[in-house]
Amino acid sequence: MLVAELAQGTGRRFARALEGETMRHICVFGLRSLVAGFALLSKAAMADEGELKSFGDWMAGCDNLKRCAALSLPREDEGDTIAYLRLERDAGPGAPATLVLRLLGEWKMLSTPVRLQLDGATFPIGGEAVSGSADSEMLSLTFQPAEVAAFITAARKATRLTVTVAGQTASVSLTGSVAAMLWIDDQQGRLDTISALIRRGNGTNIPAAPVPPRVAARPASGTLSEQDGKALAAALRAQLRHGDADLCDDDETLIASDEAWPLDDKRRLVGLACFSGAYNLTTGFWMVEGSDVTTATPVVLAQGEGDASNMLTNADFDPTTGQLSFFSKGRGIGDCGATGAYAWTGTAFVQTTYATMDECRGIAPDDWVTLYRSAAE
């Protein structure tokens, strides 16, 4: 399946999501954890000029490489069967636009004929089947280049795309789609050029895509037994408790999740489980020299500030790759929030990816907007 990037930023729409399911768990999750989550979202989103915009029923965003995506948002009352469109385009003169239709819910049929209508008029498509897998509730239809062009032209006047598959019907609002594509043209320097999606002209001077930052991830090395790792984490927790008793919640369930890993022959990465909720576990990370917890320093992540600078939600460290990843859920089903990763370079943890979605509308994590990316070195 096509991997997409769409999502939203940090702020008012994510706050609205918290008014529902998430707000019921604030007292359990802890206000400090909530503040830490917002800090991580906002700081990571600002890591390198990633930007998101709202246009009617559509969202659009670009990452630091000016790769941009636009996504239709299903209605909040859509139900169990939803459909949405995702348009993506890389920066640069020769980059084509791609368009994918996602179907989630009770579609279930493989190689099933699909019927599309724009405001009641049939929209012809070359690939008359959607693809999926028997163990997935997602089906995808990828439009051919000529179909993408036809859709962009039709979107100037049409208001709604209706999708019918195996007796199931869903609709996609096109309100805001043209504005979203026009914004993408502007971000990529295509306005009034021959490659613009919306406002075309005769211009041929189209900026090249920015060069991606290169990050050389290093696998962790050294040895540390599980027993010694638990002992190191316990010693660090005790050390931190003396300095700030409120830095991490202190109960048996959280303590059982504490871990430590060797980074090299001298340094250790220690993760202390600090706060938990119904579907989120926030972990703080410190770097320690050997077994001397008095040398512990918070790991700096995405220009964070204060206690939140070293904390990630639902984090996982893979010593074999040196990758530290996270997936912060806005609600239990995981259709909104933020996700990203950092790489151990031998001296620090450097951000490699960041994507976010602040509208809880059933959008799959693979389709969240990527605001930051890098290239492996």
Q: Report pLDDT digits (tens) over 220-273.
A: 999 999 999 999 999 999 999 988 878 899 889 999 999 999 999 999 999 999
| Reported pTM | 0.83
Phi, psi of 42 (to 5 degrees): -70, -40
CA proximity to 344, closest of 325, 329, 369: 325
Q: For the residues 347-357, what does the mean pLDDT come to?
A: 94
Specify the 3-state DSSP secondary structure of 41: helix
Report yes or no: 351 and 342 within 8 Å, Cβ to Cβ. Answer: yes
Strands 214-215 and 375-376: parallel
Buried b / exposed e across 159-177, counting CB within 10 Å, b at 16+? eebbbebeebebbbbbebb
CA proximity to 240, closest of 267, 272, 206, 281: 272
The DSSP symbol for 132 reads E
Specify the 3-state DSSP secondary structure of 142: strand
CA distances from 115 to 76, 112, 164 (A): 24, 10, 5
Higher pLDDT, 67 or 361: 67
Angle made by CA atoms 197, 139, 159, in degrees to the nearest 5: 40
Count other Cβ atoms within 10 Å, centred on residue 22: 25
- How confident is residue 358, by pLDDT bands cut at 50, 70 and 90? confident
Side chain identity at residue 90, one-letter code: D
- Rounded CA-CA distance 87/71 in Å is 6
- The overall average pLDDT reported for the chain is 83
- Rounded CA-CA distance 296/242 in Å is 13
Domains delineated in the chain: 49-187 (2.60.40.1880), 214-364 (no CATH)
Given a cut of 60, whether residue 127 has pLDDT beyond it is no
Q: For the residues 110-122, what does the mean pLDDT come to?
A: 84
Chain center to CA of 174: 23
Count other Cβ atoms within 10 Å, centred on residue 29: 23
Determine the pLDDT at residue 126.
Answer: 66
